[in-house]
Structure 1
Amino acid sequence: MQFSSLGLSEPLLRSLASQKFEQPFPIQQEAIPAILAGKDIFGVAQTGSGKTAAFVLPILELLQKAGPAKSRYIKVLVLVPTRELAAQVADVFKEFSNGLSRRINTLAVYGGVSINPQMMALASAEIVVATPGRLLDLVSSNAVHLSAVEMLVLDEADKILNLGFQEEIDKIFALLPPRRQNVLFSATIGDDVRNIKETLLRDPLLIEVGEENQQHELISQVAYLVAPERKGPLLRYLIKQHNMQQVLVFTSSIRTADNLVGKLSKNGIQASSLHSQKSQGARTEVLQKFKTGKLRVLIATDLASRGIDIEKLPYVINFELPRSPKDYVHRIGRTGRASAKGEAITIITAEDQHHFGVIQKKMGKKVSIVETDDLDLKGY
């Protein structure tokens, strides 16, 4: 199937071609025509399945055929869990907006930065990609009004709810007009997501792309069993021995992330951390350096990782296990994306073995474990 058969106009098809999009992913094949037809969507899809373009393209198609929005009365609202994801989704809108028949302004709004520039920019925005807390701040300041929203998108709804935004979400829903189109995407289906699905969506089209299992087939997984005091040297050994030039390392705490940066830097390995205690400007800068290959190692906590979307990231390393098997799946899913192969490495100690067994059982995949007692880590 080709994009030309999905109901998209020539300007968007040219934009797709210029960005080397050749064939639509399964979720795009189903979602784009349905959104263009005005259907509500409930999509179960992992990050990396192509879901962002699945709603961005039809939204732009619909808006370019309509008149401009009244100042501060936005037409499309996209809610996301993190600052990084807000910026990332807004960038996709902007990339595909080039060449349209009329200018459609998209704005990402999130906390951690000054609110005043966002308040000013909202005067001309038709599409807003927002984290819930900052959006409510802007609403309370009369910088934006939600009464004219024609389409609501909840992206990564499970993560939004897991982060404790239920109260904010309820307040936002109460401000929206009752007649609108709704699109809901979630990687998992828990009770909270089911409740939102029942109250938010009208006769939705269910799209399950099965991308998670397909993606896992592209990811080579291996675990290394090591004594706790040898974890740092093993990490440095793996990076140097495999000559890894772009590797994402996960830790469970901010302290560990910052400590690893210091140790790697002292050993001649360029590294930076990404976590919630860094300013938004610092987070944006380090993420851009990593995406463009100017930073060798990025060390991230789970929350910060939601905005990391790199099409051909070769390596992910779990320096510490996450508490949840779902978080493990999300972590390793940063690699093996867009049909590109990737490698996921996990460093475990004897204390981690039971929990890692639980993760493997939930994932439905056995991971080989390599003993490292005989490995000479001197000098690392």
Structure 2
Amino acid sequence: MPFKALGLSEPLLKAIADQQYQTPYPIQEKAIPAILQGRDILGHAKTGSGKTASFVLPILEWFQDKGPAENRSIRVLVLAPTRELAIQIGAVFQAFGEKLPRKVKTLAVYGGVSINPQMIGLQNVEILVATPGRLIDLLSRRALTIADTDILVLDEADKMLNMGFADEMKDILFLLPKKKQSILFSATLGEALEAIHKSLLRDPLKITIAEEKQDLEQIEQRAYRVSPERKGPLLRYLIKTQEMEQVLVFASAKRSADNLVEKLKKNGIDAAALHSEKSQGARTEALNKFKSGRLRVLVATDLVSRGIDIQFLPYVINFELPRSPQDYVHRIGRTGRAEASGEAISLICPDDEHHFKVIQKKMKKRVEMLESDDLELQGY
């Protein structure tokens, strides 16, 4: 089914084409027409299923025949659990809405940075993407009102509850008008979420997108057996000799990630670390530079890796293995997307070999193990 069959206008279809979206994902096929009709939505879908565009596109369409709201009165509120997701959603709104006839100002607000620039930035904002804690802070300072909000989106609602935002969400929902369109997306459906959607949603369309198994066949996997002292040089050797220009490297800890970046830079390889102790500005800059191809190597920990969504990422390297086979599959699944091939390389020290066998068994796929003793790593 093409996007033009979903009820979107020509300007938005052009914006979709400009963003190189070819055909809608299943969740977009079901959600977009229903949201355009004003229906509440209860969506059960995993990260990476295309749900962001499934609410961004019809919301932007909704604005095209709406006049401006009063200043600091938020027309559309999107709640997200993390800073990275809030920024990502805000960027999608801006990318699709940039060339539409009716301009809509969008702002992402989140903690970990000064609140004052965000308060100033709220001028004439109509779509607000917020983490719950920062929204409560702004509301307490009377920097905005959500009393007349028309559309509410709860994205990754289960994660917000798991992160301890239940009280903040309850406070926010109390301040919203009873009459509004509500859209709730979650990866899991537990009892706490059941209570929220029963009180919030009116006759919702329930959409469940079954999680597709990662197609590992499009990912070329290999591993190198290496001693701990030769591990760093081997990483640099592979990046340089294979002329890798966009490489996502996974480390197990923040200190390890920082040390890797330091050594890569000393050896002439442009790199940056992405982990929870980095400032929000540094994280955003590193991720944007990497996505745009201006940063050669991004070294990330698992904690923040779910904010990394790059359609044509060619290389993933496991400098250190994750704890679980599921995390391993998630890591290498950053490459080999959108029917493109990708390479996943793991560096295996003697102490890692048993764990790597367990990963392969759970994955039901054998990974070729290469020896690295004969590689000349001096100078790397």
TM range (shorter): 0.7 to 0.9
Equivalence map 1:291-306=2 (5 Å): 291-306=291-306
State the one-letter code of the partner of 1:106. T
**TM-score (structure 2 length as normaliser):** 0.87
Task: Tell me: CA distance 1:353–1:210, structure 2 relative to 1, closer, same or farther (3 Å).
Answer: farther
Partner of residue 54, structure 2: 54
1:221 Cα deviation (Å)? 3.4
Q: In structure 2, what residue type is equivalent to 1:316?
A: V
Q: For 1:247 and 1:168, how far apart are their aligned partners in 2?
A: 38
> Conserved in 1, the CA contact under 8 Å of 2:234 and 2:377?
no
2:96 maps to a residue whose letter is F
Q: Deviations over 1:332-351 (max 9, x none)?
A: 33223333332233334444
1:266-321 Cα distance to aligned partner (Å, 9 max, x none): 22322111222222222222222212212110111223333322221111222223
Unaligned runs of 5+ in 2: none
SS at match of 2:294: coil
1:190-201 alignment, distance < 5 Å = 196-197=196-197, 200-201=200-201
Partner residue, 1:258: 258
Runs of at least 4 residues off by over 6 Å: none
Q: Deviations over 1:86-112 (max 9, x none)?
A: 222112111222343422111111123
- Which is further off, 198-207 or 145-154? 198-207
1:45 maps to which residue? 45
CA deviation map 1:205-246 (0-9, x unaligned): 343444642554433334444443333233223323332110
| Residues 190-210 of structure 1, C-alpha deviations (whole Å, 9 max, x = no match) | 666566555544444343444
Instruction: Give the counterpart letter for 2:293 in structure 1.
Output: G
Q: Residues 368 and 215 (structure 1 numbering): CA distance in 2 closer, same or farther, change over 3 Å?
A: closer
1:303/1:162 Cα in 2 relative to 1: closer, same or farther (>3 Å)?
Answer: farther
- SS of 1:120 mapped into structure 2: helix
323-332 or 242-251, which moves further after superposition?
323-332
> Match for residue 131 of structure 1?
131
Is structure 2 residue 163 aligned with structure 1 residue 173? no
C-alpha contact (below 8 Å) 2:148/2:176 kept by paired residues = yes
- Which residue matches 1:290? 290
Separation in structure 1 between the aligned mates of residue 355 and residue 41 of structure 2, nearest angstrom: 36
User: How far apart in 2 are the matches of 1:356 and 1:198?
Assistant: 44
Contact persistence 2:222–2:370 (CA under 8 A): no
User: Which stretch of the first structure deviates more once superposed, 41-50 or 107-116?
Assistant: 41-50
Partners of 1:138 and 1:339 lie apart in 2 by 43
Aligned mates of 1:191, 1:242 — CA distance in 2:
50
SS at match of 1:182: strand
- Rounded Cα–Cα distance in structure 2 between residues aligned with 1:216 and 1:204: 35
Q: For the residues of structure 2 that align with 1:356 and 1:146, how far apart are their CA atoms? A: 50
- 1:46–1:212 contact (8 Å) kept in structure 2: no
SS class of match (2:365): coil
Secondary structure of 2:123's partner? helix
**CA pair 295-355 structure 1, distance change in 2 beyond 3 A:** same
Equivalent AA in structure 1 for residue 4 of structure 2: S
SS, match of residue 303 in structure 1: helix
Q: Tell me what 2:338 maps to.
A: 338
Aligned residues: 379
> What is the one-letter code of the residue matched to 2:155?
D
Q: Secondary structure at the match of 2:347?
A: strand
More displaced 10-residue stretch of structure 1: 76-85 or 102-111: 76-85
Deviates most, 12-21 or 218-227: 218-227
Classify the secondary structure of the residue corresponding to 1:125: coil
* TM-score of the superposed pair, with normalisation by structure 1: 0.87
The answer on 1:29 being equivalent to 2:42 is: no
For 1:292, give the aligned amino acid: S
Kindly state the Cα deviation for residue 8 of structure 1 after the two structures are TM-superposed. Answer: 0.7
Secondary structure in 1 matching 2:93:
helix
Question: What is residue 144 of structure 1 aligned with on the other side?
Answer: 144
Looking at structure 1, the residues matched to 164 and 171 of structure 2 have their Cα atoms a distance apart, in angstroms, of: 13
Which residue does the alignment assign to 1:155? 155
SS in 2 for 1:42: strand
Name the CA distance, whole Å, in 2 between partners of 1:186 and 1:223: 35
Task: Indicate the SS of the match to 2:96.
Answer: helix
